Structure 1
Amino acid sequence: MCVTSKMKEKVILDPYGRRIANIFYPEDLERLNSLADVIWSKDEPMPQEEVEAVREDVVAIITGYWRYGDVSRFPRLRAILEVSGGFPSPKDLDYAYCFSHNIRVLSCAPAFGPAVAEMGLGLAIAAARQIVWTDAAFRRGEENWSHTEFGGTFTLYDKQVGFIGFGGLARSLKQLLAPFRCPIQVYDPWLTDAYLRAQGVKPVDLETLLRTSRFIFVLAVPTASNRALLNRERLGLIPPDSVLILLSRAHLVDFDALTEMLSEGRFKGAIDVYPQEPLPPDHPVRKVPNVILSSHRAGAIAEALLNIGRIVVNDLEAILRGLTPQEMQVAQPEYIRLRGL
């Protein structure tokens, strides 16, 4: 549908925290400008006086985070499209007003799902097959050439997998695991058992998942209720031949307890997220031999970032045409209430 310049609605592009060139392919930026009268469109934060000058006419705001005060100041606003990877905090954005005034709040999180899932698969295989540790041993001249002593390596095929959380990331990972014939069990208190079974996974309680899974993927979003969900007691349930892959946020784990248990060789691990980033150089987890460490790289890849611009423009086009957005994650009242924070 062609949108003439006379018909164009005003849209703020203020992605501060991301660089425009990093999240938009040139053709997607061109599409955006053909769809709307794009205001600001710079990497620097939009000054409040500039926002004030256009607030009464703006129908959508593409932003790194909500920093514009009272959302009711924008009488024509129809959508907030965030490009940081998570919904704005309820401390900053009045969701009740947004829901009651039909203002869509959308997150770009789905742009990262495939890339993070791919990294999770890679970490799981690398830990089970000891790829990283074998490489390090080879470089030290301590490699194992034996065909009778295998050092506890194992394959992913047919192993019990456990997902803590079954959102978009988990659904992306489930597709990648299909060729490995892994039965998947899930703990997600936000979803009904009927829904999980319909997705082809088995709902279980958290303790069962930890006791019986060979690969445990931590995939849930951080919420007010799941801080240190994997505390010392629950981490103690993980069998010694299992691998814990921490992908979503360190918020869900008692990280000190996790570090201690990994250092004791209680189980293997692969970690991409930490309670403090960058991680201090003297943090003890850096010296633990049976864990793979990644510096929050799972979604830090150009292709994933450029997916942001694509889904933002696709959903903005739908909104401007009075259609339902299909690609970004839409904030639901129940989700925001349960998430807290």
Structure 2
Amino acid sequence: MIRPTIALAMQPSRTQHVLTPLLLEKLGGIGHLLDVAPMERFDDERSVQLLAEAEILVTGWGAQPIDARVLCRAPHLKLIVHAAGTVKGLVDDSVFDAGIAVSHAAQANAMPVAEFTLAAILFAGKKVFRFRDLYVADRNRARTVPIQAEAIGNYRRIVGIVGASRIGRRVIELLRPFDYRVIVYDPIMDDSEAQRLGVEKVNLDALMTTADIVSIHAPSLPATRHMIDVRRLSLMKAGATLINTARGAIVDEPALIDVLKSGRIDAVIDVTDPEIPDAASPFYDLPNVFLTPHIAGAVGLERTRLGEMAVDEVCRFIKGKPLLYQVHRQDLQHMA
């Protein structure tokens, strides 16, 4: 039996731990791995040779876009598996026009984001960051003990999920063991799906008004740009927390900064627009902001999940089984 040829395309500096030696060995066992060194571009001599032979292409962060010009160099290509999240910006219509199957590991990337979000929700409800700052500043408990009598904590709090996306649904699953009321805004989700998930479907204004903690999991699309604007931020309860692990562009950041400066709400922010805020941004200094550098997704050893899922998809394809995470052309319009 002739084994299908497999090539890799990603930036090694950005994809450590994705394809471990064990996973590379597994790829080499089910197919003919043309080169363990991934392509970082598609126009050098080595890449031209690899593309000419490749039937399966495993991509990752840093891979160059695959368009009609690249496909001209890859006449035998049948499958692209992205060992990362979204394939937006990686593939275009020419890939689907050519009948090439596309899959991705977004489900694997959703898991650490959801775990990060769960931790953020628990810490936000307990006002952990406020307690930490006061305790460190005072070196005593004069100010922290009285706060414990305030209406804080996680018992029977209301969590609002903006977007029943892959990540949003995983967050909902993780919240089930806790004593939360979960409300969800998603224009695509119907009432029966909300009932199946065990959540209450509401409109966005109602969610912003009702939730003690608002967690954003919507895709970044023209329709969602600045969806969380000055008016909707004004609807949030005093003392509520906004969590954003989705995309910075979904929030009107100048409006968010203004409301944060007032001290009326708190924020846990893992994503911003631009990706790295200006050095003078108040996000760095506001005491009611917990800012992280886009780490909710797969980092370090968590990246191996991406490689495992990608290799499993390659195995399924070679064995003639349906792909579990296939991406279709129409899916792109709803992707982050």
TM-score by length of 2: 0.89
Query: SS state of the match for residue 273, structure 1?
Result: coil
The amino acid across from 2:220 in the alignment is P
Contiguous gaps of at least 5 residues in structure 1: 1-5
C-alpha distance in structure 1 between counterparts of 2:243 and 2:151, whole Å? 16
Q: Please state if 1:41 is matched with 2:36.
A: yes
- Residue 256 of structure 2 aligns with which residue? 258
1:338 offset after TM fit, Å? 4.2
Q: Distance in 2 between matches of 1:235 and 1:141?
A: 32
Aligned residues with identical type, % of pairs: 23
RMSD over aligned CA atoms reads 2.4
State how 1:158-237 maps to structure 2 within 5 Å. 158-237=156-235
1:125 to 112, 122, 125: 122
Aligned mate of 2:102, from 102, 105, 113: 105
- Given that residues 129 and 153 in structure 1 are in contact (C-alpha distance below 8 angstroms), is that contact kept between their aligned partners in structure 2? no
Give the structure-1-normalised TM-score: 0.88
Aligned length: 330
Unaligned runs of 5+ in 2: none
Q: CA deviation at 1:264?
A: 0.5
The alpha-carbon deviation at position 20 of structure 1 amounts to: 5.2
CA distance in 1: counterparts of 2:314 and 2:210, whole angstroms? 44
Note the 1:326-337 alignment, pairs <5 A: 326=324, 329-337=325-333
Deviation (angstroms), 1:309: 0.8
Moved runs in structure 1, 4+ residues, more than 6 A? none
| Aligned 8 A contact 1:227 1:253 in 2 | yes
Aligned-partner residue type, residue 327 of structure 2: A
> Are residue 53 (structure 1) and residue 49 (structure 2) matched?
yes
SS at match of 2:246: coil
CA distance in 2, matches of 1:22, 1:159: 38
Q: Which whole-Å CA distance do the structure 1 matches of 2:255 and 2:28 have between them? A: 50
What's 1:297 paired with?
A: 295
Change in CA separation of 1:20 and 1:286 when aligned onto 2, cut-off 3 Å: closer
* CA pair 153-307 structure 1, distance change in 2 beyond 3 A: farther
Q: Deviations over 1:162-201 (max 9, x none)?
A: 1111122112211221111322221122333332332222
> How far 1:158 moved relative to its partner?
2.1
